[in-house]
Amino acid sequence: MQNPLMQTIEALAKEKGIEADTIITAIEDAVLTASRKYYKTNENLKTRFNQETGQVDLFATKHIVPEVTDPATEISLQEAQELYGEEAEVDMEIEFPKRTDVLGRIAAQTAKQVIFQKVREAERENIFAEYNDRVGEVINGTVKRFENGDQIVEVGRVEAVLPRKEQSRAESYTPGERVRAVIKGVNRSAKGPQIVLSRTDPALLIKLFEQEVPEIYDGTVMIRGAVREAGDRAKVAVYSRERDVDPVGACVGMKGTRVQAIIRELRGEKIDIVEWSDDSVLFVTNALSPAKVQRVTIVDDADRVMEVVVEDKQLSLAIGKKGQNVRLAAKLTGWRIDIKSEEEKRREVEEQFGALSSDDAPTEASAEAAGDEAAAEALAGDEAAAEALAGDEAAAEAPVGEEAAGEAEVVEAAPEPAADAQEPAEAAVAGGDTTDEETRPQ
C-alpha cells in the first residue's frame, strides 16, 4: 500500500499533466535547499526520497583520499576503513546521514516555495512542448474572464490569452461564451498564460477556409495569400491545380453557402475571393475586385510600382472606404498601386504635352533669332555684293573714259596730216585779210 505522500504526488502529477518523478525531484531539491540554509556548512549535502516511507533522507557525502585537505568534503582512507572495513578504497564516496526533523518552520516554508516553483516550471515546459508545434492551428475555448481588456480563454486544462490588439473590433464576448481562435504563439518564460491567441490573424481565415472547403483541404485548390482588416474586409487569393475546377466558385459554394459560414464566424466581415495569377498585371486587376480596371501599366518593375486607370464612376469603388480596397490589394499582391481615373489621366497627359510645348518654345525663339542673324548676315552679304557690283561698274566706266580720251587724242591728232593741205587756204585767208585791211576805211 502506498503512503499518503506518494498518493498526493501522483494526484498532483495527474492534475498538472506532468510526471510524478518531476514532483519527486522538486521535493528532493526543496529539502536540500532548506538543509543548506539550516546547517550552513560546506559539506556536500545530498537528498533521496524514500517511496516506501515517504520520507526524504539527507546525507553528507565525503570523498576518500590518501591525504585530507578539506575535512568537510574529504575523509582519509584509514578513517574510512575503520568505519566500513576493507571495502573502502580511494576515490569512493561515503554517505553520512543527517537529521531533517530539526529544519524548523522557516526551512519548511522554503521547501514549499521551491516545490511550487519546480512544479510550475515543469508544467510550463510541458505546455510549451505540447502547443509549440500547434502554432497556426484553430482551437476552441471558453471565455473565462477579462484582465485589462485582454480575454483569458480556457483551452482544455490550460489558460490562454486573447490580447486586446488581437481582438476584432466588430466582436464582443461575455464570460462563458465559446470562442474560436488561432494559436499565434507560445511563450516559454512569460508570466501568466503562455498560449497567445488571435482573432485578427490571416491564418484564422485560411484555416476556416480549409475547414469549410473540401477542395482546399485535399489540395485541389490552394490559398496563395490572404490579408485582413479584421471586422471590415478581407481578400483571399486562390489557385486551382486542375483546369476543370473553378477556385473562386469552389470557395463560394452553392449560393454562397461555404463563404457565408465563414462570414458568420467572423461576425459579418466582408470577404473578396480573387483568382491568383503569375501574371502580375492580371493578378493586380483581379485583386482590385469588385472594381473594373481599364488599364494597368508597370511604372517601375524594380520597386514594384503599378499605375491603374479606371473609369470615373469606378474610382471610389476601386479605392474603397478610406483606401481600404486598394490597401488590401497592395498587401495581397506585393505591388504599390497608384489608381487614377480616366479624366485625371487625361489631364496628366495634357499637362505633359503642355510641358513639352513650353520646352519647345525657347527652341523656336532661338531658331528665329538664328534666322534673323542669318538674314542680317545675308543682307550684309547683299550689301557687300552691291558694293562689289558698284565697284565693278566703276571699274567698267574707267576703261570707257580711257577710250574717250584715246578718241580725243585721235581727233586732236587727226588734223595734223591736213596741215600742209590747208596752208594755201590759210595763205588765201591771209591774203584776204590783207585785202580787207587795205579796203577798211581809215
| C-alpha cell belonging to residue 321 | 472606404
**CATH number, residue 189:** 2.40.50.140
Q: How many CB atoms lie within 10 A of CB 83?
A: 10
The residue from 78, 95, 129 where one domain ends is 129
The residue from 75, 98, 129 where one domain ends is 129
The residues, any chain, with a CB within 8 Å of residue 228's CB and separated by 6 or more, are 200, 201, 202, 205, 234, 235, 269
Of 345, 328, 348, 337, the residue nearest 303 (C-alpha): 337
**Confidence bin at 34 (pLDDT 50/70/90):** confident
Summary mean pLDDT of the chain: 80
- The lowest-confidence range among 16-25, 107-116, 309-318, 356-365 is 356-365
Question: Total domain count for the chain?
Answer: 2
Residue 146 pLDDT greater than 90, yes or no:
yes
Residue 201 pLDDT greater than 90, yes or no:
yes
- C-alpha distances in Å from residue 266, one per residue of 114, 180, 296: 45, 10, 33
Residues 167 and 79 in one domain: no
Residues 21 and 110 in one domain: yes
Residues 15 and 125 in one domain: yes
In whole angstroms, what is the distance from residue 312 CA to residue 293 CA? 11
Whether the full predicted model's pTM is greater than 0.75, yes or no, is no
Residues 222-231, mean pLDDT to the nearest whole number:
93
**Confidence bin at 246 (pLDDT 50/70/90):** very high
337 alpha carbon, distance to own chain's centre: 14
Query: How do residues 292-330 score in pLDDT, each as one tens digit?
Result: 999 999 999 999 999 999 998 999 999 999 999 999 999
Residues 40 and 102 in one domain: yes
Residue in this structure with the C-alpha cell 498564460, named with its chain if needed = 193
**Confidence bin at 97 (pLDDT 50/70/90):** confident
Domain-located, residue 368: no
Residue 202 pLDDT greater than 80, yes or no:
yes
DSSP states along 234-274: EEEEEEESSTTS-HHHHHH-GGGHHHHHHHHHTTS-EEEEE
| pLDDT value of position 276 | 95
Residues 98-103, mean pLDDT to the nearest whole number:
81
Residues 98 and 154 in one domain: no
Q: How many CB atoms lie within 10 A of CB 49?
A: 19
Report whether 265 contacts 238 (CB < 8 A): no
Of 39, 41, 57, the residue nearest 104 (C-alpha): 39
User: Would you say the C-alpha torsion 369, 373, 378, 380 has a positive or negative sign?
Assistant: positive
Domain-located, residue 223: no
- Considering only the C-alpha atoms of the chain, give the largest distance between any 2 of them, rounded to a whole number of Å: 216
Look at 30 and 399; give whichever has higher pLDDT: 30
**CATH number, residue 25:** 3.30.1480.10
| pLDDT value of position 37 | 83
Residues 147 and 184 in one domain: yes
Rg of the Cα atoms in the chain: 59
Residues 118 and 15 in one domain: yes
> Strand, helix or coil at 84?
helix
**Confidence bin at 420 (pLDDT 50/70/90):** very low
Residues 16 and 99 in one domain: yes
Residues 174 and 112 in one domain: no
Question: Which range, 6-20, 177-191, 224-238, 392-406, has the best average confidence (pLDDT)?
Answer: 224-238
In whole angstroms, what is the distance from residue 318 CA to residue 324 CA? 9
Domain-located, residue 125: yes
Residue 116 pLDDT greater than 70, yes or no:
yes
Q: What is the side-by-side order of every strand in the sheet holding 336-341?
A: 293-300, 305-310, 336-341
| pLDDT value of position 124 | 86
| pLDDT value of position 381 | 53
Residues 54-69, mean pLDDT to the nearest whole number:
85
| C-alpha cell belonging to residue 34 | 532548506
Residues 142 and 65 in one domain: no
**What letter does residue 335 receive in the DSSP assignment?**
-
Residues 21 and 119 in one domain: yes
In whole angstroms, what is the distance from residue 421 CA to residue 307 CA? 119
Range(s) of the domain holding residue 186: 135-198
Domain-located, residue 429: no
Question: Which range, 308-317, 362-371, 375-384, has the best average confidence (pLDDT)?
Answer: 308-317
Domain-located, residue 392: no
Domain-located, residue 163: yes
Q: What burial letters (b/e) apply to 174-211, b meaning 16+ CB within 10 Å?
A: eeeeebbbbbbebbeeeeebbbbbbbbbbbbbbbbbeb
Residues 244-249, mean pLDDT to the nearest whole number:
93
| C-alpha cell belonging to residue 384 | 557687300
Domain-located, residue 412: no
Helix H or strand E encompassing 91: none
The residue from 143, 176, 198 where one domain ends is 198
Residues 97 and 171 in one domain: no
**Confidence bin at 29 (pLDDT 50/70/90):** confident
Using a pLDDT cut of 90, give the percent of the chain over it: 38
In whole angstroms, what is the distance from residue 83 CA to residue 122 CA? 41
**Confidence bin at 80 (pLDDT 50/70/90):** confident
Report whether 310 contacts 293 (CB < 8 A): yes
Domain-located, residue 17: yes
